């Protein structure tokens, strides 16, 4: 019988298993359960998986109780769904030699064909821009959540010989994402040099394309759309997953995985708490009888 536990910080969780190998993934947009383990010396004495749950009121008479989503995973999911839609359009229409989309070579009702081609272009651009913006936002969330509350970053001396010190809030607000990734996250996660990774250039393009979307200065400026039609755009849109995977792999090797990490291909590790303290938990009900009043 699955038990509901309340942690002393007010969060509620459901015991969904005993060991990581017994856990069945249902939806990769959810927070990972935490494996709490109890030891006596080096001997494992007990283990349980607790997955956070929450409740929202729909109206005065009904609520929804659910496992807590991982917001980074939600953002990546939107990005990936849009990327897959863009790939589908590109493969079915733009890469199809049997479909003519060039006005000069169209036969038949050219106005109707132009209408159809224009709608396809809009659908494609919409999907690519959605993938870029949500992928970039997922990275921003991942980076900001990775930075400890008491962290400080000292920038290199400027032209006046002054070094500026940024606390967490200042880092989040003032530093570009590429600086946070290259100069801060690599230190936090103790990784190898990041700008030598194959996907680094794609990430830099992602940041550039996102900024062009968000900070567009003229409604008539549409030249930046054209880069989306290059095959490399799909690799650019995949760079958020590759970046997060890079840090996960470096982090997991030191057995420091935590609930921050989304479920991604190859990221099946569960966060483990090896110092279970029963005084921090309270059983408040179970799956079938509900929560105690």
Q: Mind listing the pLDDT tens digit for each residue in 32-84?
A: 998 888 888 888 888 889 999 999 999 989 999 999 999 999 999 999 999 99
242-283 pLDDT per residue, tens: 999 999 888 766 655 567 889 887 656 787 777 777 777 777
**CB atoms < 10 A from the CB of 164, how many?**
12
Report the alpha-carbon distance of residue 50 to residue 32 in Å, rounded.
9
**Whether this model's pTM surpasses 0.85:** yes
b/e per residue, 72-83, with b = 16+ CB within 10 A? bbbbbbbbbebb
Report the alpha-carbon distance of residue 43 to residue 163 in Å, rounded.
50
- The token pair at 20 is 């990581």
11-33 pLDDT per residue, tens: 889 999 888 888 888 899 999 99
Question: Hey, where are the domains in the chain?
Answer: 3-69+271-291, 71-252
Examine the pLDDT at 293 and tell me if it is beyond 80: no
118-129 pLDDT per residue, tens: 999 999 999 999
Q: 248 near 261, Cβ under 8 Å?
A: yes
């Amino acid at each position: 019988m699955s038990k509901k536990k309340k942690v002393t910080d007010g969060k509620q969780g459901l015991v969904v298993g005993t060991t990581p190998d017994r856990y069945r993934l249902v939806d990769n947009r959810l927070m990972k359960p935490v494996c709490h383990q109890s030891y006596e010396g080096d001997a494992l004495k007990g283990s349980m998986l607790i997955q956070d749950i929450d409740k929202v009121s729909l109206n005065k008479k009904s609520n929804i109780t659910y496992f807590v989503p991982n917001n980074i995973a939600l953002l990546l999911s939107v990005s990936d769904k849009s990327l897959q839609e863009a790939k589908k359009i590109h493969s079915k229409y733009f890469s199809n030699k049997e479909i003519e989309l060039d006005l000069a070579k169209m036969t038949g009702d050219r106005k109707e064909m132009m209408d159809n081609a224009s709608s396809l272009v809009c659908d494609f651009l919409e999907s690519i821009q959605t993938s870029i913006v949500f992928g970039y936002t997922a990275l921003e969330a991942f980076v900001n959540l990775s930075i400890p509350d008491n962290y400080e970053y000292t920038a290199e001396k400027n032209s006046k010989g002054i070094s500026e010190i940024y606390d967490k809030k200042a880092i989040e607000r003032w530093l570009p994402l590429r600086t946070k990734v290259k100069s801060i996250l690599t230190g936090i996660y103790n990784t190898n040099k990041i700008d030598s990774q194959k996907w680094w250039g794609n990430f830099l393009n992602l940041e550039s394309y996102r900024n062009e979307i968000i900070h567009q200065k003229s409604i008539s400026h549409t030249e930046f759309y054209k880069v989306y039609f290059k095959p490399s755009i799909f690799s650019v849109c995949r760079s958020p997953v590759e970046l997060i995977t890079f840090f996960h792999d470096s982090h997991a090797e030191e057995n420091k995985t935590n609930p921050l990490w989304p479920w991604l291909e190859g990221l099946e590790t569960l966060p483990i708490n090896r110092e279970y303290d029963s005084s921090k938990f309270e059983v408040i009900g179970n799956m079938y009888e509900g929560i105690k009043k």
